[in-house]
Structure 1
Amino acid sequence: MLMTLESPSSIPGARRVARVAAAAGLVAALAATGAGPAFAATGADTPGTSPAVKSADQKLGSADVELLQEAKAKGEANVTVMVATAPGQTKQVADQLDAVKGASVGRTYDNLGYVRATLPTGQAEAALKAAAKLSSVHGIDLRHEIQLPNPRPDADRETATVKKTAAETYPAPDRNTPAKNPYNPSFETGAVDFVAKNPQADGRGVTIGIMDSGVDLGHPALQKTTTGERKIVDWVTATDPITDNDGTWRAQITPVTSAGGTFTAGGQSWKAPEGSFQWSRFSESITATGDMAGDVNRDGDTTDRFGMLYDAAAGTVRVDTDQDGDFTNNEPMKPYKDGYQIGYFG
């Protein structure tokens, strides 16, 4: 998968450098919980009673069948499913779902017995019924959104709309902004006074997860902590390249085989190391409405397309940033935490 990052406006220049980081996908794991059976002591030679095994119909409940029918009625191209298996037995169902044409297995956690996959809606019913027949499969759920109420205290209870308040402007914070400021409530909790009395209790040694649309990995302020350690240690994404319709993340689901150092895909020939890969292509024009204005490599046009080659066995991706159709001169990139690699367009 490929993500283009837009640098913050503090970097000078009409066009800012577009950065690319190979990153692992972030998922919400399915938590399968259940009460364990209690057995009465009936003697050393009397075994306990095993819990009843679900039928295939019970594994895919009626609520999920309804969700699938709704997806068909709405003309949705894909559905995402979560499959719970016996711990250590995800391979069989993962391989079976991955074999469905147009499907993609996004994540497996074998020790938990968790599989997340995206399936073409038209083929999902047959694929899920087949998966439900596997003895290793315990349950199947379709992904659906739960609408939460507006938490704002000034939200109208009937319409869930937020009442408008008069707009106010404040000066932006800078390096001279004191720890006690109107932009951060830490002083209200007593944290500012606490750190003043305990200067080393400032968060050192603590890793913080931030959910945001992205940061500039090359920004000087994001390189080192106050104690000299690497500031950004990992980069993950929750964007689904199939279902979220974000063209800056590409689904690597087109299999190709490089024989003799070449293969053909997308109407052209490519050079690549020997082996089996997944291929895709990124069009810079998809960024036309962002800061990059459709020109990620800053060459004056918006027509460039960049090939991508994913090696599932090695966990690496190569991006043909120079558009020469040759992946052998592009560095294989791993997820950010596995070497802190950063690539650049242009």
Structure 2
Amino acid sequence: MTTLFDPVQAGDLQLANRIVMAPLTRNRSPNAVPRDITATYYAQRASAGLLITEATAISHQAQGYADVPGLYGSEQIEAWKHVTDAVHAKGGKIVVQLWHVGRVSHTELQPEGGKPVAPSAITAKTKTVLIKDDVPTFVETSEPRALKAEELPGIVHTYAAAARNAVESAGFDGVEIHGANGYLLDQFLKTGSNQRTDDYGGSIENRARLLLEVTRAIVDAVGGGKVGIRLSPVTPANDVRDDNPQPLFDYVVKQLAPLGLAYIHIIEGATGGPREIEDRPFDYEALKSAYRAAGGKGAWMVNNGYDKPLAETAVKEGDDLVAFGKPFISNPDLVRRLRENAPLNALDKATMYGGGAKGYIDYPALA
């Protein structure tokens, strides 16, 4: 019987176990550059089968929160190389999550104070983070502008360039495309944020076009076996919603199936919230079946609210990987604790966003 602690192949990635550290924004990269403590943080958690970094902006325009990292400048790339070297020295595998926030941003974070960009000029009813007097402060997002069709090829190119930077220069084992949680690619997918009337709006095929163009470009750049993608069919995160998500996401995974991806990463339910949403039912098994029936061979990763018993059940029933989020913040040795049924450290929520070593690299491992 397959267990959480058995090895698994995900595309080109040979993983020591099926426990994944989910991407977790920590707001500790001033000027979008990871610090030395970032290398320590990830290396401490390298016993995970796979580490997925915090979401990392592909360009200045792609940034939506203060002090999140980027992957578009030489200083950023060099800093990430220290991180990947530290993880590899511990025997770990690490991929970077490539991020464009779209409308979930603020003019203070945008180039020359410009408006954030979006599929349509609809403000997200959500908040982002600015740093005021060294203190993280939640503020309303700014009104976005609608992207022009002629701007979209440039965004696709920027994603591919970031992927090449990640694999060829920064030493990552692969990349994860952030297509979830109400950020740019998810905004294009969903009817609540996409009211375009051109080739990128209206039908399912049109709304999925940008995500698929991005994915194909990244596959061309670094190879499908080094590429994962994160999707969140029904999460309300960042004020995103689709009128009919099942056929939308069934279509998306069928189109992804031939690309030879390393894995598909699915957030079940509301990100960081309930796994079942009463007014947004969704059949995740049908989604996985649609992907497999279309020839998709990538590992299937599940995420949201998993503890050890639920994760063990998921693996026994055919899911390949289980991503854990907040437990990895406070438990650098989470894999060992799960294996030994050891108690978990409590999470200090006051230190989740911003700051330095406290609540970042000072959580104790088992003796």
What range is the shorter-chain TM-score in? under 0.3
Kindly name which structure, 1 or 2, has the bigger radius of gyration based on alpha carbons: 1
Q: Which has the higher helix share?
A: 2
Q: Report the TM-score when normalising by structure 2.
A: 0.24
Higher relative contact order (CA 8 A, sep 6+): 1
